[in-house]
Chains A and B, each alone.
Chain A
């Protein structure tokens, strides 16, 4: 319902007094300075490390939670099932007959080294539904016996990728349109500003539901839809930055020298205009993750056999005794979103020249 937790039109003064980044990158550039400022905020720094940890988890999900072992010694032969699984998927290898579609946990092997969570998010076990957090299932299971910990680990991939791709789309669209509006002004600006207005007045959530309900359920479509409805903030920031920077001396000089428009826009103005946009991007990722959880709640957005944080949470709604289905994915969303916000806030403060003195 509300705009992000970080301030409003701080786009105006940022970047300029803090020192423009020279296009050849010499000397202490803007970003090095920003990083030093950022580091002084211990809360934001911890959040940053937490987010990095999260990203790492998402990238290595297959190695953290999998029903295949890392290493298997069976009937005298050594195998590396996880790796082999990748190769088979790519068509570069075959499964030996004795390991075809086998349940590795039930195999009588001499040695088997399993990942810390020996389940995939989709492994159904009808004999163990609704297990509370206990021995074999650290965070419990859901109504079909799927392990919640595995679900959270693999779910992080979906949530984070939706966040990044959606915001990526929003970034591209927003920056391009904002740049065009801010740089050329006059009628280009007028049309694009009307477009901003239209997008702002659209009942976005309503539109999202409609689109998600009528289009095929796929993660990509959800990402695209979230991105295409959320670019306005970025667009406006970019526009105001471009409007401001365009009138600065060095830009006028470049144009007078005959540097083509496109070059001026993307090599001279854009790097300096990006600072406030970056904050929006970080917050946008968090917003997209929250949005995805709302869509999963309403039962739309991701395919039926994909386990996401939102889908586990949705199950908790009708099974209120299974508190672990609500607590853990809810906490995962919460921690992720909080992490991104704190990073975004820290970034904003690091970029804000007004606070430089008061620290």
Chain B
């Protein structure tokens, strides 16, 4: 039968292909023996094959809103200021120097460098910066979440071709950082017909329906036609993107900052993101030579899948913290959790050390407050609630909880009714660590007469419930910038309304005052003092049971040099490979 014949041919082809692949892999493995220790000065060349769990949603620098996109766009675009990766201090990039700030702290004036040009060769001037601001402020541009972030900017004007002046609404010490972080877009590329020319920033604050035609046309064009073709002034150009497969960035050999003092240099010819939406498949691909870098290994992969000698000869594991902490959020308005003794008792019942050891395989550190503990603001003298069931039961007894009916569950009379100590944890599906923590807690609490049920719901529904304060307790995490903290968003009582970030409805007058004063304080030392007091109050009241700062584990192929761990994580832009160890040759790339 013909079918059989075709099958034979196909299977023959399969065998051939499999053998070839096997040989290729073997050859690759041989070539990846660690290069000689001698490194020398950085040289250009080679590719970095990075991993991403999913495609970025799209690459429009203003309308995109996901983490992968931000990471990729970070290679392509630049802003007025940047942060030193090590000290986290603000440093000028596109600006000549840090801005001049007016006495009332409302006006910021930046002078722009004259030697910057975009990836297509056109020069960057104040017009582009002004355009970028206008684009963000334009209410018809599909970036509502970004725009809200810049609500404090009320005006921007060009004083001359290379000087721009911003006016902010109120004094806030992070304004400089925000303004310095505006992504600078090339006007001639994103608004080729200069439709925004006549719109001043103040005009854009009007009601969207009253905006002139030009502005509407600009917004429509901007929203629709720039999802997959970003172009900026940064050191890497966007090369191509095959959805679900890979995305490529190529080094711009004409980068304006090449060889200049004070500007970070780049060396890798190409950065490729390979999209593999399964973590285990990614590790397998790494081991067989298809990836050079995995950002985050799961704890299990770190403990079990990556310990062999063969693995360590080829790859280097990096363990580091990032500003990120997990916590149990108790709904402070819940009749049971209103009493701070109950919250303290629950903190004493959480065996954090054991959970860290078993569930996270020790990859992390206990934290007792909301500040990133590498920051000077972090108070190291906070009381760390150890696992102490006896103390917990004492506190609960003090708070009026006893088992009066012998059914094994504590109860108390609240508002005239006897209610059992029963509540519900909400957990988003897909969050496996949080789920494990909750399961452990459930088991522990049961042994002490507390019944906790668990409800696992879809992420979108979960978010909805959390923002509407429809929960008893949740296990979540916050990710923050490694730079100066600002806890107003999470702890100020005003943020408990209108679906703000104060999900647990925490209200404390003294804390409110501290948070407000902090924002207006431009002296770093005084800020540290304010936040020390703030942390002590939280430590006492335990509105959250603070859990851990997780350690991230990244894996990178050993041929890369310049790999360093910074407070905010890794910075692959800095890496390079000595010529003898390079694996991928680009066609013709000038140094």
Contact = CB atoms under 8 A, between A and B. Distances in A.
A101 B408 contact: yes
A216 interface: yes
A244 interface: no
Interface stretch (A35-43, A121-129, A183-191, A286-294): A121-129
Contact of A95 (B298, B305, B408, B454): B408
Interface in A319-334: 319-321
Contact of A303 (B351, B358, B456): B456
Interface stretch (B310-318, B378-386, B437-445): B437-445
Name which of B280, B429, B435, B447 has the most chain A CB atoms within 10 A of its CB: B429
A304 B435 contact: yes
B580 to A, nearest CB: 36
B288 interface: no
B309 interface: no
A144 to B, nearest CB: 6
B570 to A, nearest CB: 23
A317 interface: yes
B358 A97 contact: no
A336 to B, nearest CB: 25
Given A124-B439, A126-B355, A303-B454, A318 B407 contact: no
Greatest chain A CB density within 10 A among B304, B403, B427, B439 is at B439
A297 to B, nearest CB: 13
A321 B361 CA distance: 15
Nearest to B443: A124
B280 A318 contact: yes
A101 B403 CA distance: 11
A317 B456 contact: no
Nearest to B447: A101
A319 B358 contact: no
B442 to A, nearest CB: 6
B101 to A, nearest CB: 50
A100 B403 contact: yes
A355 interface: no
**Majority DSSP secondary structure for residues of A touching B:** loop
Q: Indicate the member of B354, B448, B454 with the most A CB atoms within 10 Å.
A: B454
A126 B440 contact: yes
A182 B304 CA distance: 60
Contact of A124 (B298, B440, B453): B440
B455 interface: yes
A123 B435 CA distance: 15
B279 A318 contact: yes
Q: Which of A94, A143, A214, A303 has the most CB of B within 10 A?
A: A143
B363 to A, nearest CB: 14
B461 interface: yes
Residue of B407, B432, B443, B454 with highest tally of chain A CB at under 10 A: B443
Contacts of A124: 439-440, 443-444
Interface residues of B, number: 40
Nearest to A123: B443
Q: How large is the interface on A (under 10, 10 to 19, 20 to 34, 35 or more residues)?
A: 20 to 34
B300 A318 contact: yes
Contact of B407 (A94, A97, A143, A216): A94
Interface string A176-203: 0000000000000000000000000000
A217 B449 contact: no
B458 A213 contact: yes
A234 interface: no
Given A95-B406, A299-B429, A299-B430, A101 B448 contact: yes
A97 B406 contact: yes
A303 B407 contact: no
Contacts of A145: 358
Contacts of A214: 458, 461
B359 interface: yes
A318 B298 contact: yes
A88 interface: yes
Interface in B264-283: 279-280
Interface in B450-467: 453-458, 461
Contacts of B447: 101, 103
Given A94-B405, A103-B447, A126 B358 contact: yes
A166 interface: no
Nearest to B278: A317
A300 interface: yes
A118 B406 CA distance: 24
A213 B444 CA distance: 29
A318 B438 CA distance: 19
Interface in B356-412: 357-359, 403, 405-408
A108 interface: no
Contacts of B443: 122-124
B280 A320 contact: yes
Given A126-B351, A321-B304, A216 B455 contact: yes
Nearest to B432: A318
B407 to A, nearest CB: 6
B455 A303 contact: yes
B358 A304 contact: no
A315 B435 CA distance: 13
B440 A144 contact: yes
Contact of A319 (B304, B439, B444): B304
B449 A101 contact: yes
A305 interface: yes
A316 to B, nearest CB: 11
A144 B298 contact: no
B436 interface: yes
A88 B444 CA distance: 20
Nearest to A300: B429
Interface in A105-132: 122-124, 126-127, 129
Nearest to A102: B447
Given A304-B439, A318-B298, A100 B406 contact: yes
Candidate in A91, A123, A217 with the most chain B CB atoms within 10 angstroms = A217
Given A103-B447, A299-B430, A143 B359 contact: yes
A324 to B, nearest CB: 14
Interface in A270-325: 299-300, 303-305, 317-321
A78 to B, nearest CB: 19
B355 A304 contact: no
A271 B403 CA distance: 55
B323 to A, nearest CB: 26
Contacts of A300: 429
Contacts of B429: 213, 217, 299-300
Contacts of B448: 101
Interface string A124-165: 101101000000000000011100000000000000000000
Given A88-B407, A101-B448, A318-B298, A144 B439 contact: yes
Contacts of A129: 358
A54 to B, nearest CB: 27
Contacts of B357: 126
Nearest to A305: B454
A174 to B, nearest CB: 30
Interface string A67-98: 00000000000000000000010010011110
A355 to B, nearest CB: 30
A206 B436 CA distance: 28
A127 B407 CA distance: 28
Nearest to A99: B408
Nearest to B458: A213
A124 B437 CA distance: 11
Contacts of B300: 143, 318-319
5 contacts: A122-B443, A143-B358, A144-B358, A213-B458, A318-B432
Given A91-B407, A318-B280, 19 more contacts: A95-B406, A97-B406, A100-B403, A101-B408, A101-B449, A123-B443, A126-B351, A126-B358, A127-B354, A143-B300, A143-B436, A213-B458, A214-B458, A217-B456, A217-B457, A299-B430, A304-B438, A304-B454, A304-B456
Nearest first, the 4 closest Cβ-Cβ pairs linking A and B are: A94-B406, A124-B443, A304-B456, A126-B358
